[in-house]
Structure 1
Amino acid sequence: MRRFLLAVLFLALTPPTISHYSSSTSSPSSSSVSSDASEWRPARATYYAASNPRDAVGGACGYGDLVKSGYGMATVGLSETLFERGQICGACYELRCVDDLRWCIPGTSIIVTATNFCAPNYGFDPEGGGHCNPPNKHFVLPIEAFEKIAIWKAGNMPVQYRRINCRREGSMRFTVDGGGIFISVLITNVAGSGDIAAVKIKGSRTGWLPMGRNWGQNWHINADLKNQALSFEVTSSDRSTTVTAYNVSPKNWNYGQTFEGKQFETP
C-alpha cells in the first residue's frame, strides 16, 4: 500500500488512460528514430490509479484532455532524467517487463506517449522512495497500462524501454489560444518522432516567424496575425524532417479553435 501511495504522490499532474499493447517482438519502423535510440535500455516503472474524473485532464506537456487530444490512455509520466524539460513531450516508447517471473506477463509490451512529468522527491533517496529522482530512468504508468505487462502487486518493477516512431491516425492538430497579439499554439497528434524541435508560423500577410516553446508542446509568439490565414512549419526533434502545413486556418480564425494540417510520414 505504501508503494502505491508514493507512486501517486510522484505525479504532480496526472493523465488518464487506456493503454494499447503489442507483442514484445514489434520493432520501430522509421528513420526518424535512430537505431541507437531504439535499443532496449533498463529502467523501472510504477503506476497510479486515477481517482477523480478531473485526472483525465492535465499533464505537464499541456495536452489537456488526453482523450480529445487523441492520446487516450496510452500515456506515461517520465522522471526528470528522461523528461528533458518538456522537449520529449509527444515521444513514443515501447516498454516491457523483465527479470521478474513472478509478476511479468510474458510476451507482452506496451506502447505509450510521453504526456507528463514525474517530479523528483528529494525527501527520499533515489533507491528508496525517490523513484523519479536523478539519475533514475523511471516511468509512471496508468494502472490500466501497467497491467498489460505486469501484475499490479509488483509495484516498482524493472522494465526495458526503447524509443519508437509514433503512429497517429489523421492529421497533425493545431489549437490556437491566447489573446490580443499573444498567440499560443498547442500541437498534438504528431507522428514520426512525436516530439518537436522547432515551429514557425506564417500569416497570409507575413513571412515565416519563429515561435518559442512556452511549455511542453505549447508554442508562442507575440504577433498581430488576426484576420490572416495561418500556416505552420514543424521540425521533428532530430531536425531531419520538416513538415509545412499551408493555410491550416481560415483568415477568420478565433482563439480556442483547433485546426488540422499536414502530418509527418511514417513508413
Structure 2
Amino acid sequence: MSSLQDALICLILLVTAIYATASSDDLDPSEEEWESATATFTKEANGSIITEGACGYGDLHKATYGKYGTGLSTMLFNKGSTCGACFEIRCVDHVRWCRPGSPSVVVTATDFCPPNYGLSSDYGGWCNFPREHFEMSEAAFAEIAVTTADIAPVQYRRVDCERDGGMRFTITGHDNFYQVLITNVGLDGEVAAVKIKGSRTGWLPMARNWGQYWECSINLKGQALSFEVTTSSGKSMASYNVAPANWQFGQTFEGKQIYG
C-alpha cells in the first residue's frame, strides 16, 4: 500500500508540473503585469509634449506620435534604448484626480525626463532616480486624470505598438558618416539593432548614436539602401532597396513593418 501511495503522489506531482508548464506556455507575452509609477504633464500649444527630444524624433506630429509621446525618468529611459516603446497607463487610487472607471491611454516613449536633485523626489523632483515617472502631454494626461492634479498615481505596462504604414528611415550625415533615424516601429517598438546594406555591399552593422539615431562610417552614396531592424523582442525585419540609388541626405523612406 505504501508503494502504491508513493506512486500516486509521484503521478500527481508530475501532472501538476506538466499543467503548470502548459499554463505558463499559454500566457500571452504581451500581457505584462501592471507596475506602479507617477505621471505629470507639460503644456504645449500644438498638443505635443515636445518638438525636440532625447530620442531624436523632432516634430512628434510628423513622426506620427503627436500628443501620445511621453518623457521617461531615468529608471524607464534606459539610456535611450526604450525610445519608441509603448506603454499603457491608467490613473489609480485617487478619487479626486483619476477619471471615473480608470480609463487607460497608450503612449510612446519619445523623450527623457531629467532628474532635478535640487528638489525632493516627493515634491517637484518627480524624475529623480530611482522614481518611475511619465511626463505626458496635457492632452494625453487628460484622458486618464483631471489636469488640476499636480501629479497622479498611475499604473503602467508595456504593450505592443500599433502603427499605420511601415517603418520610416530618415537619412542624415555627410560623406563617410551616415545616420539613420528610425521611427514608426511596430511590435514592441524598441529597436535593439540595425544593419544597413548598399546595393554593392553586404550587410553592415550600425551603432546607436543617441536615441533612435543609428550610425555607420562608410560611403554608400549612389547605392540603393536596405535596412534590417531587430527589436528588443528579437524580431527582425529587412526592408530591401528602401532608398533608391539617387537618395539625398534629409530624405525619409518607408519600409516594411515588423509584426509579432
Q: What TM-score, normalized to structure 1?
A: 0.84
Moved more, 173-182 or 100-109: 100-109
Tell me the amino acid that sits aligned with residue 59 of structure 1: G
Give how far 1:190 is off.
Answer: 0.3
Aligned to 2:3: none
Equivalent-residue separation in structure 1 for 2:91 and 2:47 (angstroms): 29
Residue identity matched to 1:196: V
Tell me what 1:92 maps to: 86
User: Identity of aligned pairs, percent?
Assistant: 55
Partner of residue 151, structure 1: 146
Match of 1:237 among 199, 219, 232: 232
Match of 2:117 among 119, 122, 127: 122
Cα distance per residue 1:185-208 (max 9 Å; x no partner): 000000001010000000010011
Question: Are residue 102 (structure 1) and residue 91 (structure 2) matched?
Answer: no
* Counterpart residue number, 1:246: 240
Write the mapping of 1:1-267 to structure 2, written as runs, cut at 5 A.
34-35=30-31, 38-50=32-44, 56-107=50-101, 108-239=103-234, 241-266=235-260
Larger RCO (alpha carbons 8 Å, 6+ apart): 1
Structure exhibiting the larger radius of gyration computed from Cα positions: 2
What is the alpha-carbon distance in structure 2 between the residues aligned to residue 193 and residue 55 of structure 1? 21
Cα distance between partner residues in 2 of 1:122 and 1:102: 29
Q: Deviations over 1:112-159 (max 9, x none)?
A: 000011000111232232110111000011111111111111211110
3-state SS in 2 of match to 1:152: coil
1:197-256 deviations in Å (ceiling 9; x for gaps): 0000000100111000011000000001011000011001122x1101111110111100
Q: For residue 5 of structure 1, what is the aligned residue in structure 2?
A: none
Contiguous gaps of at least 5 residues in structure 2:
1-26
Cα separation, partners in 2 of 1:106 and 1:80, compared to 1, 3 Å: same
Cα deviation, 1:6-52, whole Å, max 9, x if unaligned, reads: xxxxxxxxxxxxxxxxxxxxxxxx96x554xx211100001111258
Report the Cα distance in structure 2 between the residues aligned to 1:160 and 1:41, rounded to whole angstroms: 5
TM-score by length of 2: 0.86
Q: How many residues align?
A: 233
Please list every run of 5 or more consecutive structure 1 residues that lacks an aligned counterpart in the other structure. Answer: 1-29
